[in-house]
Structure 1
């Protein structure tokens, strides 16, 4: 496992994704996990975010191994050896390489502001970076100043054990994960075509629910099953969803909001089979071809949430047009659930419409 850490805005996810993508293109079965994506539970347990993320990562690892993973790239913040030990102690058979990314204050400010997200936090990120300079948890520190993502990824691999992952050990028998039971807490599932707004709306509903005082958790299924090359990725994501949700239940979450797949009934059923006791409410976000094309174009320009491996980011117009056409075809997939039409609506208007349709969920089902 290669663990990329460092301050907010330094490029952990971007560089990590590039390492992952290059290895997978070379035929090495590789997984990628963004640590933030396996710790979205509020309030956090008393023992903190790292204990929860470490528990969830360890629970996902057997599922990755069942699919033949040889190595895993993890991006996430950490700043002490004790926090690193939360992870290593739960995965004794994994060879960890910890790499801290560094960049000067001026360039960090520029990168952070270029993301277009919470510019008010830029000085906190710079202070965070200064604090990390006094840390000793990492096996190596790589200065990425002045480097593009591809060059930074190449440098990280060169510096990590002479070319990470080096000579991989022989394949061992795959682990078999124990069954998990997440109980009877309710699940709210957002389905819809690419660019329908699933992750944006689901995350806003998650924020509303926990702000109301109900302990809640959030999962984007696309972010918990990143493995290439792969056979049945739906099987992997369904198993990982069940494992992560069980971890959130242990942490006290009383409901789960999911940004799911495009979503035929059969697809959702395959996920639900691993959450057999959970009352499931499905919201299907719908948008017409013109709206989907507009949203795809905006994502191509870098607008919207910055997610590792976003297929729309920095793509040419031809590629974006093909993605929009595919999204329009996905939107024709019908199925059971509450249909939410989003054409012409802003995010807060869609959220209000969803809240009206789901009633007092999670205390009662619509």
Structure 2
């Protein structure tokens, strides 16, 4: 099993689109099916001030964290980060084991994202978050490679979106040790 090729799902999208909710639902469904996997929230790999982006800290930390999972026999990873779908080559390279890559850009209308953000952001910085979300949506739409799957989350439940993603992955029905 150690020599088997790993697989990674990169989930990207604007703030308020449902990346974390999707990752948690995928985790629940895959765990229920006894599919061995891990979930990594990419935002936590380089969350610091001042931002350390010029040092490729996210990639360095991903290499370390994935190495620990890989040593324990994990072959499947779900990775969330707003812009992960734009940097799949760099992130996959950081994994160090030539993974099979699937990438999904979650999309939503500005109104749907605003409603979701209102539910979790309290205080005076709501408008700033919303404006960054709108700008990120435009940039992601423009700069995400065409091969990346685009899935709208508007008027859809997380279980419905998860079912669509699981069908893209083909990770079910293979047992917990695959």
Superposition TM-score, scaled by structure 1 size: 0.42
> Which segments of 5 or more consecutive residues in structure 1 lack a partner in the other structure?
1-180, 302-313
- For residues 55 and 113 of structure 2, what CA distance do their matches in structure 1 show? 24
Post-superposition Cα deviations, 1:217-255, rounded to whole Å, max 9, x if no partner, equal 110010122222244257100111111011011223231
What is the rounded CA distance, in whole Å, between the counterparts of 1:228 and 1:318 in structure 2? Answer: 21
Going by fraction, where is helix more abundant, 1 or 2?
2
Bigger relative contact order, structure 1 or 2, given CA contacts below 8 A and separation 6+?
A: 2
Q: Secondary structure at the match of 1:332?
A: helix
Distance verdict in 2 for CA 1:343–1:219, change over 3 Å: same
Contact 1:284 1:337 in 2 (8 A): yes
Matched, 1:359 2:163: no
Q: Distance in 2 between matches of 1:268 and 1:362?
A: 26
Q: Deviations over 1:167-209 (max 9, x none)?
A: xxxxxxxxxxxxxx99721111111122211111012212221
Work out the CA distance in 1 between the residues paired with 2:60 and 2:173: 23
User: Where in structure 2 are the equivalents of 1:1-366 lying within 5 Å?
Assistant: 184-232=5-53, 235-263=56-84, 265=86, 267-276=87-96, 277-301=98-122, 314-333=123-142, 334-335=144-145, 336-360=147-171
Query: Secondary structure of 1:228's match?
Result: coil
- Aligned pair count reads 170
| Alignment partners' CA distance in 1, 2:82 and 2:3 | 20
Q: TM-score, normalised by structure 2?
A: 0.80
Distance (whole Å) between structure 1 residues aligned to residue 103 and residue 78 of structure 2 = 10
Is residue 106–residue 151 contact of structure 2 (8 Å, CA) maintained in 1? yes
* Root-mean-square deviation (Å): 2.6
Unaligned runs of 5+ in 2: none
Is this contact kept in 2: 1:292–1:328, CA < 8 A? no
